[in-house]
Amino acid sequence: MTEPRGPVDSSRVPRFAGPATFARLPRLDEVGRADVAIVGVPFDTGVSYRPGARFGPSAVREASRLLRPYHPGLDVSPFATQQVADAGDIACNPFDIGEAVETIEEAASGLTADGTRLVTIGGDHTIALPLLRAAARRHGPIALLHFDAHLDTWDTYFGAEYTHGTPFRRAIEEGILDTEAIGHVGTRGPLYAKQDLDDDERMGFGIVTSADVMRRGVDEVVDALRRRIGDRPLYLSIDIDVLDPSHAPGTGTPEAGGLTSRELLEILRGLAGGNLIGADVVEVAPAYDHAEITSIAASHVAYDLISLLALSISSARPGR
């Protein structure tokens, strides 16, 4: 077996130099194939308030320069145990949401056709729907944990069915989610009506609010999430606005009272050993970011997702 090609050695090339890929990893075209591919989707036509997440992928890549190859919290060297590569960006039509959704789905399906698992950096949350479609092509209906300040199960905005507030309602309607194993984490803030919660519950979602995390603690929340998901194929969709604006100011629809970056990372680490098949980190809008706080948080979230995938892939290999 060929040894994975890892990031540029920071003892030889300073972190502020070298390639602008995620964590200074090789490009996908340099290694041929990868166990895990990082792909950007610079698309934000589906936002309902502040735009700018189209610049999220490049900002997160820049912030990822400081990441190091060993993850002590999970005791894994994610770039050494598997081939991880940066697949660049999926270029899609910024003027036609429907066409963009189709483009993202086809590109994601192509990238995962050989078993590669994706960690996608957005872009707004509209992109979750085509990514889930691509994942369901390979795995059938999948479990979902959705980390977000918002439900994102609304029906339409201004008559539009495909926006950053509607992807999970569309996914339920299309039958690509396992409704026995879906949930929101970190939700909070005002809603349009109580009916929003009633609709969400009818679709099968469980909710762990940000206040629940504060009151119950990370360990209890993780235990409940693991029991809900079991060993089903799991997709993680993480809107960076699940974090409090003090931890992630650079996002389009901030809400007070969110998770800390520590809480989010510890919840993710608590999911180690699960059957993770893919993930996204979305809604990083660097124009509103202060000192790259949001981009840094998102880069660490992506790093933890890669590390979780390393553990998942390792446990699935023959002889393990």
Whole-number pLDDT of residue 315:
76
Chain segment 9-66, per-residue pLDDT in tens: 999 999 999 999 999 999 999 999 999 999 999 999 999 999 999 999 999 999 999 9
Cβ(28)–Cβ(37) under 8 Å? yes
Q: What does 263-300 look like in DSSP terms, one character per residue? A: HHHHHHHTTTTS-EEEEEEE---GGG-STTHHHHHHHH
Question: How big is the chain, counted in residues?
Answer: 320
β-pairing, 142-147 vs 177-187, is parallel
Partnered with residue 84 across adjacent β-strands are 36
Number of neighbouring beta carbons within 10 Å of residue 98: 11
Chain segment 79-98, per-residue pLDDT in tens: 999 999 999 999 999 999 99
Cβ(171)–Cβ(177) under 8 Å? yes
| Predicted structure pTM score | 0.97
Alpha helices in the chain (DSSP H): 28-31, 56-63, 97-112, 128-139, 167-173, 195-203, 210-216, 218-229, 261-269, 293-316
Confidence of residue 1 (pLDDT cuts 50, 70, 90): low
Partnered with residue 208 across adjacent β-strands are 185
Mean pLDDT, to the nearest integer, of 165-192? Answer: 98
- ∠ CA 51-54-60, rounded to 5°: 115
Question: What is the CA 320 to chain-centroid distance, rounded?
Answer: 27
Mean pLDDT, to the nearest integer, of 255-267? Answer: 98
Half-sphere exposure of 114 (CA within 13 A, CB side): 7
Number of neighbouring beta carbons within 10 Å of residue 182: 24
Whole-number pLDDT of residue 316:
72
Residue 170, φ and ψ in degrees, nearest 5:
-60, -40
Say which amino acid occupies 49: Y
Whole-number pLDDT of residue 318:
58
Collapsing DSSP to helix, strand or coil, 50 comes out as coil
Eight-class DSSP state of 161: S
Burial 265-283 (b: 16+ CB within 10 A, else e): bbbbbbbbebbbbbbbbbb
Domain 22-316 has CATH 3.40.800.10: yes
Whole-number pLDDT of residue 205:
98
- What is the rounded CA–CA span in Å between residue 196 and residue 199? 5
Counting residues of the chain whose pLDDT is more than 70, the rounded percentage is 98
Each domain of the chain, given as residue ranges in start order, spans 22-316
Helix axes 261-269, 218-229, angle to 10 degrees: 40
User: Which residues of the chain form beta strands (DSSP E)?
Assistant: 36-41, 84-89, 117-122, 142-147, 177-187, 206-209, 234-239, 276-282
- What is the rounded CA–CA span in Å between residue 107 and residue 102? 9
Scan for tokens 């792909």, then name that residue. 39
Confidence of residue 317 (pLDDT cuts 50, 70, 90): low
Partnered with residue 271 across adjacent β-strands are none
Scan for tokens 């901030």, then name that residue. 254
Answer whether residue 158 shows pLDDT above 90.
yes
Answer whether residue 320 shows pLDDT above 90.
no
Mean pLDDT, to the nearest integer, of 264-292? Answer: 97
Say which amino acid occupies 43: F
Burial class (CB in 10 A: 0-12, 13-18, 19+), 214: middle
Chain segment 110-155, per-residue pLDDT in tens: 999 999 999 999 999 999 999 999 999 999 999 999 999 999 999 9
Chain segment 283-313, per-residue pLDDT in tens: 999 999 989 999 999 999 999 999 999 999 9
- What is the rounded CA–CA span in Å between residue 128 and residue 271? 20
Q: Which two tokens stand for residue 247?
A: 């931890």
Average pLDDT, the chain: 96
